[in-house]
Structure 1
Amino acid sequence: MQEGFDEDDIKLRCSGGDRKAYAQLYTFYFKPLYRHVFLFLKSKEASEEIVQDVFVKIWENRIILSTVQNLKPYLYRVTKNLLLDYLRRLQTENRIIKMVSPETEPIEDSTSDSIDHKDYMALSKEAISNLTEKRREIFLMRTEQDLSLDEIADKLSISKSVVKKQLYASIAFVREYMHKHGGISTGLLLALLKAL
């Protein structure tokens, strides 16, 4: 343990809302958590973002810190959960982008598959058309123009976190819309839901 870092004292003070103690916690654990996440993602930006989210979550739930037995395993568990959430969102985004991108070709295995794909594409376009104007714009910039979150943020003069929230909300809406309006085969819907 680093000199001057009393874990029990830090937990107690943080749980009481002491920002100085929180800053000490952040300083002490940011780099090890960052290195841990970076091993999986190999992305400086994504790793920093996840670790920042970890500390936001810790602060939001600081009241429970006083009940945490061992701080280090607790922080790594929170980090693991947010890393898994990030990977699931990434998988969802990539799956939807792949399915609604203009160059997607219909499946040629059978007439039934081809019809299912056409139904799916029509329903996905309908879902996208029901997005709010801003969400639709962000969604299409990502899916059709293949712009990164940073590029979208620059073009729209908004923060990357706003772009990310709007994009994830769009993806969630499209998924829910397609689930509710089920104009596609059960098999394809189940495959989509499993992938998301």
Structure 2
Amino acid sequence: MEDTLTEPELLGKIAAGDRIAFSTLYQLHLSEIYHYLYLFTKSTDAAEEIVQDVFVKIWEKRENLIHIKAFKPYLYKCAKNMLLDEFRRNAVKSKVYNALKPDTEESHGKTDDRIIYNEYHKIAEMAIDLLPEKRKAIFLMRTREELSLDEIAERLGISKSVVKKQLYAGIGFVRQYLHNHDAYFMLIAINLYLNTL
């Protein structure tokens, strides 16, 4: 029984790819980490999304778990990093929205920023066009149509995990493409497309 294992034994099983052990770990820590994240986000949806991302990241890097002496500090560090990423995305998103507002007396000085933004928007468009067709379709359904992962999975007749895997691969490619093209404002361009991720 997974619930009778010590923490190192449980982590060892997960590191070896045991999904049942991972489910046990998830259930053990879900409520606590959700409440921790909710304290900062004040949003049920945001807290739930970050929790899912945290555990997806832990599963993706499960081989590292055998080196973890105590899981809880590791979990909270992962959650904190994801939370900071979310705050950064929201800060950039706010700048993007402000830059795209119609001209007012306050926004006349932002013309240069808009020009730069538009240039990197074009670079992001080129990156998206280079994605394989299926990955591109998933990427656009999520970012332009603002469909949920479940809705995309249903529309394409594939599993949610496949959608998530393809979406993350697409995001990684776009980010790397922008980085390779020295996009100083690449986070602005990314957030045009990833504002719900």
Same-fold call, TM cutoff 0.5 = yes
Q: Which residue of 2 aligns with 1:192?
A: 186
Q: Give the C-alpha shift of residue 16 in structure 1.
A: 4.9
Secondary structure of 1:17 counterpart: helix
**Structure of higher CA gyration radius:** 1
Name the residue aligned to 2:7: 11
Against the structure 1 CA distance between its residues 148 and 112, is the aligned structure 2 distance closer, same or farther, given a 3 Å change threshold? same
Other structure's SS at 2:6 match: helix
Q: Are 2:36 and 1:42 equivalent residues in the alignment?
A: no
**Structure 2 unaligned residues grouped into runs of 5+:** 191-197
TM-score by length of 1: 0.60
**Aligned 8 A contact 2:124 2:189 in 1:** no
In structure 1, distance between residues paired with 2:113 and 2:81 = 36
Provide the residue aligned with 2:145 in structure 1.
145
Residue identity matched to 2:151: E
Checking the alignment, whether the CA contact within 8 Å between 1:128 and 1:174 is kept in structure 2 is: yes
Q: Is the CA contact (8 Å cut-off) linking 1:38 and 1:47 kept in structure 2? A: no
Matched, 1:62 2:60: no
**2:65 aligned partner, one-letter code:** R
Q: How far off its partner does 1:83 sit?
A: 4.3
Q: Is the 8 A contact 2:117 2:188 kept in 1?
A: no
Q: Does 1:171 align with 2:144?
A: no
1:94-173 → structure 2 map (5 Å cutoff): 116-173=116-173
Does residue 81 of structure 2 align to residue 81 of structure 1? yes
Q: 1:195 to 1:38 in 2, by over 3 A?
A: farther
- Whether the 8 Å contact between 2:54 and 2:78 is mirrored in structure 1 is no
Asked if the contact 1:135/1:166 (under 8 Å) is kept, the reply is yes
How many residues matched? 173
Q: Secondary structure at the match of 1:146?
A: coil
Over 3 Å counting, the alpha-carbon distance change for 1:181 and 1:191 in structure 2 is closer
State percent identity of aligned pairs.
Answer: 38
* Deviation sequence 1:41-91 (CA, Å, 0-9, x none): 5226425524643763685433224xx2x5543432343334445x27x92
TM norm structure 2? 0.60
Hey, what does 1:31 align to over in structure 2?
31
How far is 1:10 from its partner?
1.4
State the Cα distance separating 1:154 from its structure 2 match: 1.4
Question: Relative to 1, partners in 2 of residues 1:145 and 1:21: Cα closer, same or farther, differing over 3 Å?
Answer: closer
